[in-house]
């Protein structure tokens, strides 16, 4: 293959895949077309080198992907006489199927580069593409045939009345029901025109996440367009590189500092709860703010206010949109519509601008001993290196904010609502906190001295795991129990299924803190039965941080207030980056 100086092929890595999807998703029709189908087509284009990109600095400004085909099929397709047929072994032509450019002037260059990369064969470029709008045709085209072998692109039907499959409509409720009806079973569940494999058995979950880790890559295609590439979404060497940079800062490296910052933030949070004056209140927004503030203070040494008044709230529409599109499978009506997209896009613009200002400010004020400075330094160092080794600074920072706040916020919401619904236990925990601490500021060691504190947090994470599904893509054939896995299969480890498995947990539906040891002993025995933080190399990087934060928050709130239910709360879920209660965690907060 001949390489062009300005137009080049990206390496066959998942980073390139993420970068291509990130770029394409900014354009119509990609932003409103079934994401799974586009992801499959782009995946093939990246893996097989069937694409070309062009950059402005390190920013992609043009992308063209093609499908190897035959002249006969290409001719018929170009004349609208037939479908474009892929030809993997006897290709004597290529058809440009996926094109997006920031500037229409780039299109010609991309086509030339495509011809250079396919010497001696005909390259078809069809003017009438799936998106027939004049303006959009200039900037981006997506052809509706041959986008992926044997597949038709499904344009999202935002007004479709077809019911969504139960698993896509309410994944958490579906998984609780599955765990009850088929405990521990591995099952292939049809979804639209395809299927997903659900794993509920601890040994098989360990195979996917640890034993045969290399065969199961992360499946975050719907999140990368907004959150970019990061240690959460990358695999292989790129992940290891990224993981090494941030891990010591979010572990966290200076526990005393983290504890002091978190204590102050949750003091303010406890006051904000009290300010509701005992009126029935949905407290999710207040918890979100506190959890985002804890992350920005510890990882970026920056108060949340500096990032703007709407920063924490702006994360919600992005998470909601990305989560809805995660179930964009062929034949499944999308759960997202154009209003959701518009909302998510404007929130993303504000978030990205705030992040850019944060980085700019840090560059001027000089480095600090935190994750922000470590990531800026790593991004600068890798800037001139090959694409696959570059750190996506914005992606890493945003991922830390979301991974480091949404999950903890969800867990705290469940914890406070369970306390509100169990007044006797709430009183017991408050008494234990007072007896152990008096008015003293808690230290790390204190968390283990309050007998019910850690078991309560563990039981919350067992019964209401914020990350209820660990989603992976199979790369090669494998056997999961009796289920034959083929490349491209979506394999979902149901954390709900593991935590509700009666062979591991007695009466799994009952909320019982006596299952867990106060000081964490016996944790090793739980092995894969408890996977709230996942397992193996890709285990949560912030598990310790989360436990410090939850323990501190519970201590601060219970010392100052009594929680009461305003009304019975439904066993109903909202699926985002983590599992929340549908309708929010509503309660009354009474001053003590």
C-beta of 241 vs 434, nearer to ligand HEM: 241
Q: State both tokens at 51.
A: 């694409």
In the complex, least distance from residue 370 CB atom to ligand HEM, rounded to whole angstroms: 12
Cβ proximity to ligand HEM, 403 vs 429, nearer residue: 403
Q: Are 99 and 57 in contact (CB under 8 A)?
A: no
Q: How far is the CB of 158 from ligand HEM (least distance, A)?
A: 28
Q: Are 524 and 518 in contact (CB under 8 A)?
A: no
Q: Where are the strands (E) in 250-370, listed by range?
A: 281-282
Number of residues that this document lists for the chain: 592
Give phi and psi for 98, each to the nearest 5. Answer: -135, 110
Least distance (Å) between residue 351 CB and ligand HEM: 17
Contact 248, 258 (CB under 8 A): no
CB nearer to ligand HEM: give 216 or 321: 216
- Shorter beta-carbon distance to ligand HEM: residue 46 or 232: 232
Give the interface with ligand HEM as residue ranges (CB under 6 A). Answer: 231-232, 243, 250, 295, 403-404, 407-408, 411, 466-467, 470, 532-534, 538, 540-542, 545-546
Beta carbon of residue 517, minimum distance to ligand HEM (angstroms, whole number): 19
Nearer to ligand HEM, 548 or 558 (CB): 548
Least distance from ligand HEM to the Cβ atom of residue 411, Å: 4
Nearer to ligand HEM, 390 or 588 (CB): 390
Sheet holding 469-474, edge to edge: 187-191, 194-199, 490-494, 469-474, 216-218
The least distance separating ligand HEM from the CB of residue 204, rounded to whole angstroms, comes to 16
| Shortest Å, Cβ 533 to ligand HEM | 5
Cβ proximity to ligand HEM, 99 vs 411, nearer residue? 411
269-308 exposure pattern, b = at least 16 Cβ within 10 A, e = fewer: bbebbbebeeeebebbebbbbbbbbbbbbbbbbbebeebe
Closer residue to ligand HEM (CB): 94 or 555: 555
The CB-nearest residue to ligand HEM is 542
CA distances from 236 to 214, 226, 388, 590 (A): 8, 22, 11, 50
Nearest alpha-carbon partner for 377 in 360, 356, 391, 388 = 391
CA dihedral 218, 219, 221, 224 (to 10 degrees): -40
**What is the closest distance, in whole angstroms, from the C-beta atom of residue 245 to ligand HEM in the complex?**
11
């Amino acid at each position: 293959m001949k390489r062009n100086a300005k137009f080049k092929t990206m390496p066959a890595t998942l980073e390139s895949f993420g970068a291509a999807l990130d770029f394409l998703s900014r354009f119509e029709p990609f932003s409103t077309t079934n994401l799974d189908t586009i992801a499959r087509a782009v995946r093939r284009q990246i893996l097989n080198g069937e694409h070309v990109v062009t950059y402005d600095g390190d920013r992609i400004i043009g992308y063209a992907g093609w499908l190897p085909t035959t002249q006969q099929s290409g001719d018929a397709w170009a004349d609208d006489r037939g479908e474009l047929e892929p030809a993997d072994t006897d290709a004597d032509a290529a058809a440009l199927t996926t094109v997006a450019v920031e500037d229409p002037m780039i299109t010609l260059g991309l086509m030339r580069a495509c011809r250079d990369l396919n010497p001696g064969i005909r390259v078809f470029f069809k003017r009438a593409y799936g998106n027939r709008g004049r303006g959009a045709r200039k900037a981006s085209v997506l052809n509706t045939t041959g986008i992926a072998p044997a597949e038709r692109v499904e344009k999202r039907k935002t007004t479709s009345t077809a019911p969504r499959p139960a698993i896509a409509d309410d994944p958490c409720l579906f998984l609780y029901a599955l765990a009850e009806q088929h405990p521990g079973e591995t099952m292939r569940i049809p979804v639209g025109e395809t299927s997903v494999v659900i794993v509920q058995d601890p040994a098989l979950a360990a195979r996917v996440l640890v034993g045969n880790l290399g065969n199961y890559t992360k499946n975050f295609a719907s999140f990368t367009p907004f959150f970019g590439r990061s240690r959460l979404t990358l695999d292989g060497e790129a992940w290891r590189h990224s993981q090494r940079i941030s891990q010591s800062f979010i572990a966290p490296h200076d526990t005393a500092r983290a504890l002091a910052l978190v204590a102050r933030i949750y003091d303010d949070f406890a006051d904000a709860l009290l300010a509701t004056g005992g009126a029935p209140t949905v407290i999710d927004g207040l918890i979100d703010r506190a959890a985002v503030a804890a992350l920005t203070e510890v990882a970026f040494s920056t108060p949340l206010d500096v990032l703007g008044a709407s920063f924490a709230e702006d994360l919600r529409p992005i998470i909601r949109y990305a989560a809805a599109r995660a179930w964009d499978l062929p034949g499944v009506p999308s759960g997202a519509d154009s209003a959701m997209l518009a909302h998510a896009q404007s929130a993303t613009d504000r978030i990205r601008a705030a992040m850019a200002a944060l980085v700019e400010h840090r560059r001027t004020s000089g480095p600090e001993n935190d994750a922000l400075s470590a990531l800026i330094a790593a991004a600068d160092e890798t800037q001139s290196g090959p694409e696959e080794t570059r750190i996506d600074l914005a992606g890493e920072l945003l991922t830390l904010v979301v991974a480091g706040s949404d999950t903890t916020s969800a867990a705290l919401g469940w914890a406070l609502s369970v306390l509100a619904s169990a007044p006797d236990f709430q009183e017991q925990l408050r008494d234990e906190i007072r007896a152990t601490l008096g008015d003293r500021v808690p230290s790390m060691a204190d968390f283990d001295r309050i007998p019910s504190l850690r078991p309560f947090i563990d039981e919350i994470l067992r019964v209401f795991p914020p990350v209820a599904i660990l989603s992976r893509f199979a790369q090669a054939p494998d056997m999961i129990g009796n289920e034959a896995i083929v490349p491209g299969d979506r394999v979902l480890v149901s954390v709900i299924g593991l935590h509700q498995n009666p062979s591991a947990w007695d009466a799994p539906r009952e909320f019982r803190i006596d299952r867990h040891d106060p000081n964490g002993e016996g944790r090793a025995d739980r092995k894969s039965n408890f996977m709230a933080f996942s397992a193996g190399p890709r285990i949560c990087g912030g598990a310790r941080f989360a436990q410090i934060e939850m323990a501190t928050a519970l201590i601060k709130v219970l010392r100052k207030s009594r929680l009461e239910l305003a009304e019975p709360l439904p066993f109903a879920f909202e699926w985002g980056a983590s599992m929340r209660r549908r309708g929010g965690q509503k309660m009354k907060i009474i001053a003590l």
